[in-house]
Amino acid sequence: MNERQRARRPGGRSARVGADVHQAVTDLISERGYGNFTVGEVAARAGVADSSIYRRWGNLATLLTDTALTRLNAQSPMPDTGSLAGDLRTYAAAVAREITGPDGLLLVRLAVALSSNGQQGLQARDDLRDERTRQLQSMLDRARERGEHAPDALDVLDHVLAPMYIRVLFGMDPLTPDYVDGLVDRLL
């Protein structure tokens, strides 16, 4: 096999470029908000040519969606503690840490920004919501397979995640472990 026939290595240059571009998007959204930067500015911040971004992602909405989905999958792995209560408490605690961290509301900002970006943006927003729901559903299905009574994914969103996001959005009391556990207890 010659040099040109080698397969791409996971974690190689392509992965580094993707990580650099995602970080540039995250930084620019945190600094300026959505709609206040261009693909060219993302490229400059990431140290790549804007043609690389267009070739890989096609447009800014697709790049934002990919950034959001990548962060969602990296930050919120589905726990498997052996019980639904344990899984939900662990998951809720992870989300609480995530949304109170330095880039906490990034996913919310991305979802809102995408919603106002025409049909393509609405599809991207729906993809983000569907991925979060898919993650939750895998945890709930696992609980049902163990014989536990599990709520619907929408109930978890309504009764556990939404109250946490509202508190962070409106600067209300901190998300203490007791508060987060109480949300899970009330749902179950």
Looking up residue 33, the CATH number of its domain turns out to be: 1.10.10.60
Domain match, 77 and 54 both: no
> Would you say residue 46 has pLDDT above 60?
yes
The answer to whether residues 50 and 77 belong to one domain is no
Residues 81 and 129 in one domain: yes
Which residue's entry shows tokens 């898919």?
134
* Pair (77, 169) in one structural domain: yes
User: Do 54 and 66 reside in the same domain of the chain?
Assistant: no
Structural domain boundaries enclosing 180: 60-188
Q: CA angle 141-76-187, nearest 5°? A: 55
Q: Which two tokens stand for residue 188?
A: 């179950």
Asked if residue 79 lies in contact with residue 90, where contact means CB atoms within 8 angstroms, the answer is yes
In a domain, 27, yes or no: yes
118-156: pLDDT as tens digits = 787 778 778 878 888 888 999 999 999 999 999 999 999
Report yes or no on 2 lying in a domain. Answer: no
Q: How far is CA 178 from CA 98, 170, 174, 188, in A?
A: 17, 19, 10, 15
**Longest CA span, the chain:** 61
| Same-domain status, 54 and 146 | no
pLDDT band at 75 (very low <50, low <70, confident <90, very high): low
Q: Smallest Cα–Cα separation from 29: which of 59, 63, 58, 52?
A: 63
CATH of the domain at 122: 1.10.357.10
Q: What average pLDDT does range 29-50 have in this prediction? A: 88
In angstroms, the Cα distances linking 46 to 31, 77, 118 are 15, 26, 26
Assign 10 a pLDDT band (cuts: 50, 70, 90): low
- Regarding whether 114 and 156 lie in a shared domain, the answer is yes
Q: Is residue 1 part of a domain?
A: no
Share of the chain above pLDDT 70, in %: 91
**Residue 51: pLDDT over 50:** yes
- For residues 107 and 161, membership in a common domain is answered with yes
Q: Could you tell me if 74 and 15 lie in one domain?
A: no
Looking at residue 96, its pLDDT comes to 92
Count: domains in the chain: 2
Q: Are residues 147 and 94 in the same domain?
A: yes
